[in-house]
Structure 1
Amino acid sequence: MGAAPVAPDHPTRDAGFGVYLHWPFCASKCPYCDFNSHVRHAPVDEARFLAAFRAEIAHVAARTPGRRVSSIFLGGGTPSLMSPRTVAGLLDAVAGAWSMEPDAEITLEANPTSVEATRFRGYREAGVNRVSLGVQALDDASLKSLGRLHTAEEAMAAVSTAAAHFERYSFDLIYARPDQTPDAWKAELREAIARAAEHLSLYQLTIEPGTPFHGLAAAGRLTPPDEDAARALYDVTQEVCEAAGLPAYEISNHARPGAQSRHNLLYWRYGEYAGIGPGAHGRLVAGADRLGTVTEKAPEAWLARVERDGHGVVETETIAASDQGDEFLMMGLRLAEGIDPARYAALKGRPLDAARLDALVGDGLVRRLEGGRIAATPRGAPVLNALVATLAA
């Protein structure tokens, strides 16, 4: 693109610019999932959706001239249900709308059931250079209870396929499952680390309103670990990963040094990103303002809106300075690297309260790092919401 770079007139701009592309379709809906994902039994018209994605990318690019894309994330849903040709079309549209950093990270989420060597080869040729696999568990009984369609053997075969085609890959596991013990989780985690080259995402099971799991829990047919048991599993997660050289760089994400997910770091560092596709959220900078954007959630309604209006954005909100500071705290304190209080002050319009900060440091919940940064301690990370509430007050 020939547009001149835009001056960094907002404290967000120096954290990078990324593009999130939401493919909303899944082969089945997992009972714990509250994401914007949809099952369609008829084939999806990929060519029609691709044309709509291109239109929305062009619309957002016109609002964000001069950006350089440092990362692209194809999430969902299940993006690995797309043909490599469609993925190539999406990436070409992004590269045509903005300048690309030479080493831009381009991640595609995949489910083990949709992993094929030929498809992965096609994604690599399309420009994808990192994959994230939704493994979720390494035993068949747990996978069945989580509503997953793959077996543990299929999951590990998918990881091997990913390793054969991509230098960078990651996979997810869910812990704090019903009846899970620390010893069982420790063994499962060690097996996962042996197969993960550089990165693992380890999420504690949460019972979200509106999901089948929420209904089962309300009826007494599903009993996740209580708070103490869940905390014990969290502690095991930190200890095992740290000892294996994959420390937590964010509460739920572990990586070898230098192998962190750049796209997710952009979110947690409160950067700027375009949200493209059904139900996608974005954070864009316009002059001195930071804007939150939301697109139409229902895939077919989004498609019709884009074909009519050139985009599917249904909400654009100017985020108040006070809310920017709070969002920055909530996101940044998830990171082991913490936050720069000077950037908080630039966003919020006032500095952190020194007395509150000193009290949290004294209680061992927050620590001061080199260069003036602050971060949650291992004791503080599990009570992050309370830390943010205290500091933001």
Structure 2
Amino acid sequence: MSPAPTPDPTVRHLYVHVPFCPSICPYCDFHVLTRRAGLVEAYLAKLDEEAARLADSYDVELDTVYLGGGTPSFLRDSELSALVGSVQRHLGWGRVENTLEVNPGTVSTERAALWRDLGLDRASVGVQSLDDATLKFLGRQHDARQARDAVGTLVGTGFRVSGDLITAVPGQPLDRDIHGLTELGVGHVSAYTLTIEPGTEFARRGVTVEEDDERRGFERTEELLTARGFTRYEISNYALPGQESRHNLAYWHGRTYLGLGPGAAGHYPVQRRARGDSGNGPAARPGEDQTPSGSDGILTTRRTNPHLHEWLAGAAGEDDPIDGHEFVTDALFMGLRLRDGIDLADVTRRSGVDVRARYAAPIDANVTRGLLTLDGDRLRATPEGWWVLNRVVTDFLEEDTADGG
């Protein structure tokens, strides 16, 4: 008999999507747009309403808040202050970490001080490269000098700073980019391979990325950052000791989180606040499930909000109910991205699915291929397994299909 699942009904993480950007990069496929008169004001008013509704619906004790986009730092000072005020008033604030995504061209000493005063303590800076030719190719509006100045200002203002890099760009001086970024004092680096997504300007131009360049960047980045004391704790993320992104770790560990704003994705518990509970307000709306897990076996729900104009008009988000087997598949796909992998006993407890028994065949096959290792209940991807992780997870999906799951 499979164990009863034990999901955590309390939500401890919040993602806020700010869709506004000064310009649209040719590789970007996120929900972003340039600002127009009245649009930011309408966004902030609707955001406040949505934050209040989430507070009324879920038990929330935030550990982390992440303001992403788009370009949250592109908001004017009064606008960002209003956004943070809405979050704090309705949902509280992160007790562990509060991150702001930052475009280098928006940073000044005065603004960095304001952001710290608002309670933001971590900055994820879209450096992408410290080479002007590479930045021009990527369509970035800042140059290398602005990127260096921005990181230096944020470090000097007391932020924990993460620098984003894009690798496998034609002609990119990757070694120089990594040397330069680490010398600026960042404690974290996110390094993502340039990916050409359908519908982007790069796709329309016919830009391609060679697999050999992708693999070379994948391996060289680890070599260079490891030599500088960084640990690759996730496929694309490196940190000095204690500098890991607590918010992103929540994603990779399959925790629930709120998604606030247009285009925002969230991962919600089935259990909602019971009517009359003390705290942020009344609970679930009539007809909404208030049990720890749904009677139909649903453990959690992933919800993606509509894009800005539909969101402003009150359109509902798109829900994807997650049962035990889907929970396991998600846990594998996300957790195997981590250097520490996943604890199969913990996933079994949280999903109600005996993972070791149900997925014995794909586990054994991928261990034999050298793509996974299994030490007790700890399942990890090897470096080669990271490179073909989609293929590894597909084996687990196929096992579900074969069993009619």
Could you tell me the TM-score, scaled by structure 2's length? Answer: 0.85
1:233 maps to a residue whose letter is: G
**Superposition CA RMSD, Å:** 2.1
- The amino acid of 2:332's aligned partner reads L
Question: Which residue of the other structure, out of 19, 22, 25, is the alignment partner of 2:20?
Answer: 25
Q: Which residue of 2 is the match for residue 215 of structure 1?
A: 204
Q: Deviations over 1:101-159 (max 9, x none)?
A: 5x321100010111122122111111111111111111111101100011101111111
Over residues 53-103 of structure 1, what are the superposed CA-to-partner deviations in whole Å (9 max), with x where a residue is unaligned?
1110111122212x21010000011100113333333333333334555x3
**Could you say which residue in structure 2 is the equivalent of 1:4?**
none
What displacement does 1:13 show? Answer: 2.3
Q: 1:18: how far off?
A: 0.6
Distance in 2 (alpha carbons) for counterparts of 1:273 and 1:261: 15
Q: Given the alignment of the two structures, is residue 302 of structure 1 paired with residue 294 of structure 2, yes or no? A: no
Amino acid at match of 1:76: G
Q: Secondary structure at the match of 1:74?
A: strand
**In 2, Cα distance between equivalents of 1:359 and 1:64:** 41
Residue deviations 1:255-281, cap 9 Å, x none? 012110111111111111110101111
**Cα 1:381/1:348, change in 2 over 3 Å:** farther
Shift of 1:16: 6.1
Matches within 5 A, 1:348-359: 349-352=353-356, 353-359=359-365
After superposition, the Cα gap between the structure-2 partners of 1:325 and 1:16, relative to the gap in structure 1 and judged at 3 Å, is same
Q: 1:192 aligns with which of 175, 178, 181?
A: 181
- Following superposition of structure 1 onto structure 2, how do residues 148-187 of structure 1 map, counting pairs within 5 Å? 148-180=140-172, 184-187=173-176
Alignment of 1:374 with 2:379, yes or no, is yes
Q: Which residue of 1 aligns with 2:285?
A: none
- After the TM superposition, which segments of 4 or more aligned residues of structure 1 sit over 3 Å from their partners? 9-12, 42-48, 98-101
Give the structure 1 partner of residue 83 of structure 2: 90
**Rounded Cα–Cα distance in structure 1 between residues aligned with 2:9 and 2:43:** 32
Tell me, in whole angstroms, the C-alpha distance in 1 between the residues paired with 2:161 and 2:38. Answer: 27
Aligned to 2:396: 391
What is the alpha-carbon distance in structure 2 between the residues aligned to residue 343 and residue 15 of structure 1? Answer: 17
**Change in CA separation of 1:90 and 1:271 when aligned onto 2, cut-off 3 Å:** same
Q: Paired residues, what number? A: 366
Distance 1:236 1:348, change over 3 A: farther
What is residue 241 of structure 1 aligned with on the other side? 225
Task: Using the TM superposition, give the Cα deviation of residue 10 of structure 1 relative to its aligned residue in structure 2, in angstroms.
Answer: 5.5
Change (3 A) 1:258 1:10: farther
Counterpart of 2:137 in structure 1 is 145
Q: Give the counterpart of 1:333 among 333, 336, 359.
A: 336
Stretch deviating more after TM superposition (189-198 or 92-101): 92-101
Cα deviation, residue 319, structure 1 = 1.6
Q: Retained in 2: the 8 A contact 1:22–1:75?
A: yes
Q: 1:83·1:119 contact (CA, 8 Å) conserved in 2?
A: no
Whole-angstrom CA distance in 2 between matches of 1:303 and 1:358: 49
Relative to structure 1, the CA distance from residue 300 to residue 118 in structure 2 (aligned partners, 3 Å threshold; closer, same or farther) is: farther
What SS does structure 2 have at the residue aligned with 1:272? coil
Structure 1 residues 134 and 386 mapped into 2: Cα distance closer, same or farther (>3 Å)?
A: same
Q: Secondary structure at the match of 1:248?
A: strand
Partners of 1:367 and 1:377 within 8 A in 2: yes
Q: Residue 52 of structure 2 is aligned with which of 44, 58, 66?
A: 58
8 A contact 2:254–2:331 mirrored in 1: yes
- Conserved 8 A contact 1:324-1:348: no
Residues 168/142 of structure 1: CA separation in 2 closer, same or farther (3 Å cut): same
- Structure 1 segments unaligned to the other structure (5+ residues): 1-8, 306-311
SS for the counterpart of 2:263 is coil
Q: Which runs of 5+ in 2 are unaligned?
A: 271-291, 294-298, 400-405
